[in-house]
Amino acid sequence: MLTRRRFVQTVGIGAAACIGARGREGSLWSALEPTLEAVEPGMICLSSNENPLGPGATVLDAIKAAFGPAGARPGRYDGTARPLIEAIAKKQGVKPENIVLGCGSTQILRSATHLFTAKDKALVGTIPTYEECAGYAETMGRPVRPVALDADFKIDLGKLADAAKGAGLVFYCNPNNPTATYVGARATREFLATLAKESPDTYVLIDEAYFDYVTDPDHDTHIPIAIDNPHVIVARTFSKAYGMAGLRMGYAVGHVDTIKKMAEWPGPARAR
């Protein structure tokens, strides 16, 4: 598997400064990227999984109130998650049954990999991309089919569709980490339609962790497709644009049956 470190060694150190990352990547990239002090003013450095502006004032006030003398115990996932599920459902225009929470989006990615891959059902993903799904699949001894990005470091949808035939799960990180390239919503919808015809049992996990940073006019969430299609899942996180990486909260949106499977798999938070 082509890791981010090997990728940067291939494309050169200059490209590394332009590439975002997440979570544990902070240490992975520490020897390759400039320090925050070296970043030009106005640039957003995502490699340490944080928003330089931090959470908004109203968010901080709510956190302080929740963890106050009468609030919940910090560091615990408990039954108070239901209001958050309802708030997310309202925000996304779906039902609470379409939402499952996770410890950041990492838990969502692991749950999907565990549930939808097998010894004879490969994990398919681009190289490079965020490594959680492929790394977890390899740990479980499940096959991984890598698909190279095109010459512009974008996802090659034709090659991805070919590799996905008969696979268990396709990890579709868009915008892609670490290349920061984006595939338009129209092309993505066409890819999903093609895959549904050619490999109807294959699941697709669309990672929209960087959704809020896209400026391309052909930009849209694929949550509506996930609600109707039990083989499509959308992952989101509060660690990026919301600046709440330390609280480790992410979620998946999908068909009721698929979300139920994910909620029943052991994890730190479940739909209630």
Q: What's residue 60's pLDDT?
A: 84
Asked whether residue 256 is assigned to any structural domain, the reply reads yes
Tokens read off for 52: 């330089």
Pairing of strands 250-254, 99-102: antiparallel
The predicted pLDDT at position 24 comes to 44
% of the chain surpassing 70 pLDDT: 74
Q: State the angle between helix axes of 185-198 and 157-164 in degrees (0 to 180), rounded to the nearest 10.
A: 20
Structure tokens at 79: 């039954």
Q: Count CB atoms within 10 A of the CB of residue 139.
A: 10
Between 35-39, 120-124, 128-132, the lowest mean confidence (pLDDT) is in 35-39
In CATH, what number is assigned to the domain containing residue 239?
Answer: 3.40.640.10
pLDDT at 73: 62
| Residue 129, domain member (yes or no) | yes
Q: Does 189 have pLDDT greater than 80?
A: yes
- 105 in any annotated domain: yes
Per-residue confidence at 171, pLDDT binned at 50, 70, 90?
very high
What letter would DSSP give residue 121? Answer: B
CA distances from 219 to 33, 172, 223 (A): 29, 15, 12
Residue 97 half-sphere exposure toward CB, CA atoms < 13 A: 8
Mean pLDDT of 24-39: 44
Q: Give yes or no for residue 188 having a pLDDT over 60.
A: yes
Q: Confidence band (pLDDT; 50, 70, 90) for 54?
A: confident
pLDDT at 17: 35
Task: Describe the strand order of the beta sheet including 232-237 as a list of residue ranges.
Answer: 99-102, 250-254, 232-237, 203-207, 169-173, 123-127, 144-148
Mean pLDDT of 101-127: 94
Residue predicted with more confidence, 89 or 268: 89
CA distance 23 to 105: 10
**Ordered DSSP codes for 165-219:** TT-SEEEEESS-TTT-----HHHHHHHHHHHHHH-TT-EEEEE-TTGGG---SS-
pTM of the model: 0.81
Q: Which two tokens stand for residue 80?
A: 């108070």
Predicted local confidence at residue 25, as pLDDT: 42
**191, 163 contact by CB (below 8 A):** no
For the stretch 67-87, pLDDT in tens is 777 666 655 555 558 888 999
Neighbours of 24 (CB within 10 A): 12
**Does 29 fall in a domain?**
no
75 within a domain of the structure (yes/no) = no
- Under 8 Å between Cβ of 227 and 254: yes
pLDDT confidence of 64, banded at 50, 70, 90? confident
How far the first Cα of the chain sits from its last, in Å, is: 37
Exposure string of 200-224, with b = 16+ CB inside 10 Å and e = fewer, is: eebbbbbbbbbbeebeeeeeeebbb
- Looking at 39-53, 61-75, 242-256, which range is the least confident one? 39-53
Domain of 175?
81-264
Whether residue 51 is contained in a domain is answered as no
Q: Is residue 165 part of a domain?
A: yes
Range of lowest pLDDT (49-53, 143-147, 255-259):
49-53
Question: Above 70 in pLDDT, residue 59?
Answer: yes
Question: Domain count of the chain?
Answer: 1
6 domain residue, yes or no: no
pLDDT of residue 33: 43
- Statement: residue 50 has pLDDT above 80: no
210-246, pLDDT tens digit by residue? 999 899 999 999 999 999 999 999 999 988 888 777 7
